[in-house]
Structure 1
Amino acid sequence: MSAAPVVIAHVSDLHLGAHDPVAVDTLPADVAAARPTLTVVTGDITMRARVGEFERAVELVARLPEPRLVVPGNHDVPLDLVVSRFVRPYARYRAAFGTDGNTLLRLPGVTALGLNSMPRWRWKNGRVTGGQANAVVATLGPPDPSAVEHGPVRLLALHHPPFVRGSARLVGRAGLVAALVDARVDLVLAGHVHIPRTRAVDLAHGGRGHRLVEVVAGTATSRRTRGVGRSWSLIVVDDRAVEVRERHQCGDGWRTVATARFDR
């Protein structure tokens, strides 16, 4: 008998402090209606990492279904407080969410690792360290690399989309790609760009190939919609496929406007 599907609610770029009040009011109920196995929030939870914004962020995130995996984004590190940015960049984030953003959750049907991809010394673009890449393999890698059958869904969450090229390229990308192949990660969740995108990504490392699904969520509650509106991503994984539904804000409610399906 097949295991029950794993349902993941992927929310990103809340930007509390530059948010739409209707989206903030209605988002939690729409996410809760999906009854997710796990809720993932991929950063830029605040607009300028200010105390009041983090207070609002904590209130909103607490209304999203548990268990939750939350990682920071570039807007969650102080921009206009230079000393704080370099001496204690994650202090307010840690006070709000109890972690620096590197978090592992093991749940029935899914193992999820969150990485903090925002270094204090970069303004906007991200990086993944060698230690973080090693953690991907150590925590998400299958116990038996020769096994063919599906085990728990292996999920990596970070703020910055890892496969972007050019000036926005992730520092440490090559090491992360190697880790994703070695760990046979199923899903990579990211945000940052405010434009939802779902695709299968073919990777190669050490003579081995691997295909995963990348889900970049749009902005769920920000006013900075970049012409595509506010949205969040609902991901359903079973033994046969990964299905991703884009839930867009429509007036004072939300509805699915696009669906993508990938064979496993």
Structure 2
Amino acid sequence: MTRIVHLSDLHFGFHRAALAEPLLARVNGAGADLVVVTGDVTHRGRRGQYAQAAAFLSRIRAPLMVVPGNHDVPLYNLAVRYLAPYAGFRRAMGRHLTPVRQVGGARVLGLNSVDPFAVQRGIIRKGEIGRLIGGLDPLATNIVALHHPLEHLAQVDKELARRAPQALSRLDRAGAQIVLSGHLHVWATGAMLEQTAHPGVLQIQAGTALCGRLSDRQNEFAVLQIDGPMLTVERHIAPMNEPDFRPPEYEHFSRESGIWVAHQPPETPIVPGATETAFSTA
């Protein structure tokens, strides 16, 4: 059995400061073998925001891997954005933009989906799909972690990352089983499974763990418990008008037949967070 905490969209610099300690306590109490952060650790990629994010993440007791999000490159400092977009990220989070970790029965492969030449839209670079496929472990549960989703719910009005459909199709054929992402501030698991043409890949799209934007309505994170072909997802939710996370809600999935099956009705995603303008949070 392997336990993985999935955090995304912390947005230090525009975060719910009062929720940081409750979040840290939940994460450290989760008994995780690994904590995966799928980008937007900062709000605007500024040095002080990276210092806040690094201070928080340094207190997580489990092993940690972090991939960048579009908010982790400077928005207004164009010289840095185009010439050294990941300098701040590497200084605070470590030099690897595409880390790989093996824990228990799971292999987690990071992917940098950020495009410094676009404000929000991501990109899957040439050669990256092949790198991921080459890194899959046929004896493990293979998980790809990136910021931008590889597929959107029908209600989401943003553009997919470039080459996202090709990436999802090829990863499905190659045997990847789970994709962790963020970006939209919209939780989606079973709802994605209902609409996808690739049920061999369970897409776990996280909400925002700490962002203070009221239109998101809640903060949340997830704990994945992987036991062979069985997966339990603990979803920890803190509504914006409550000071702490509620007791977890549970979702159960299995892939004994080679494709994922949900053991509960699909959730109803809260979509407004996905419809902001180019220069707002998501």
TM-score range normalised by the length of the shorter chain: 0.7 to 0.9
* Equivalent residue for 1:131, pick from 105, 127, 133: 127
Is the Cα contact below 8 Å between 2:38 and 2:67 reproduced in 1?
Answer: yes
Counterparts of 1:246 and 1:181 in 2: how far apart (Å)? 25
Specify the code of the residue in structure 2 equivalent to 1:212: V
SS in 2 for 1:39: strand
Residue 226 (structure 1) aligns with: 215
2:188 counterpart of 1:192 = no
**Structure 2 counterpart of 1:194, one-letter code:** H
What is the 5 A alignment of 1:78-93?
78-93=74-89
SS at match of 2:212: coil
Change (3 A) 1:114 1:29: same
**Which of 47-56 and 178-187 deviates more?**
178-187
CA RMSD in angstroms comes to 1.9
Q: Is the CA contact (8 Å cut-off) linking 2:107 and 2:137 kept in structure 1?
A: no
Q: Normalising by structure 1, what TM-score?
A: 0.87
Higher strand share: 1
User: Partners in 2 of 1:174 and 1:197 — Cα distance?
Assistant: 17
The aligned amino acid for 1:189 is L
- Following TM superposition, the consecutive aligned residue runs of length 4 or more in structure 1 with deviations greater than 3 angstroms are 200-204
Deviation at 1:163, TM superposition (A): 0.7
Name the amino acid aligned to 1:66.
A
Matches within 5 A, 1:1-264: 5-142=1-138, 151-164=139-152, 167-199=158-190, 201=193, 211-249=200-238, 251-264=242-255
Q: Deviations over 1:18-53 (max 9, x none)?
A: 111111122111011111111010111001100000
Task: Give aligned-pair identity as a percent.
Answer: 31
Is the 8 Å Cα contact of residues 195 and 228 (structure 1) preserved in structure 2?
no
* In 2, Cα distance between equivalents of 1:178 and 1:244: 24
Are the counterparts in 1 of residues 187 and 206 from structure 2 also a CA contact under 8 Å? Answer: yes
Q: Which runs of 5+ in 2 are unaligned?
A: 256-282
Is the Cα–Cα contact under 8 Å of residues 141 and 182 in structure 1 kept in the other structure? no
Give the structure 2 partner of residue 147 of structure 1.
none
- TM-score under structure 2 length normalisation: 0.82
> Which deviations, in whole Å up to 9, do the C-alpha atoms of 1:237-260 show, x marking residues without a partner?
112421112101264432245322
- Partner-residue secondary structure (3-state), 2:97: coil
Q: Distance in 1 between matches of 2:232 and 2:82?
A: 41
Unaligned ranges ≥5, structure 1: 143-150
> Conserved in 2, the CA contact under 8 Å of 1:55 and 1:96?
yes
Q: Is the 8 A contact 1:198 1:244 kept in 2?
A: no
- Amino acid corresponding to residue 29 of structure 1 in structure 2: A
Q: Is the contact made by 1:49 and 1:75 (CA closer than 8 Å) also made in structure 2?
A: yes
Q: Distance in 2 between matches of 1:66 and 1:154?
A: 20
8 Å Cα contact 1:155-1:188 kept in structure 2: yes
Write the deviation string for residues 191-230 of structure 1: whole angstroms up to 9, x where unpaired.
Answer: 11112121364876xxxx7512111111111102534311
Q: Which one-letter code corresponds to 1:160 in the other structure?
A: H
Report the residue type matching 1:162 in the other structure: L
Q: CA 1:169–1:26 in structure 2 vs 1: closer, same or farther (change >3 Å)?
A: same
**Structure 1 residues 221 and 160, CA, compared in 2 at 3 Å: closer, same or farther?**
same
d(CA) in 2 for partners of 1:141 and 1:183?
Answer: 10
Query: Alpha-carbon deviation of 1:177?
Result: 1.9
Give 2:266's aligned residue.
Answer: none
- Check 1:247–1:210 CA distance in 2 against 1; reply closer, same or farther (3 A cut): closer
Q: Distance in 2 between matches of 1:230 and 1:258?
A: 14
Tell me: CA distance 1:141–1:173, structure 2 relative to 1, closer, same or farther (3 Å): farther
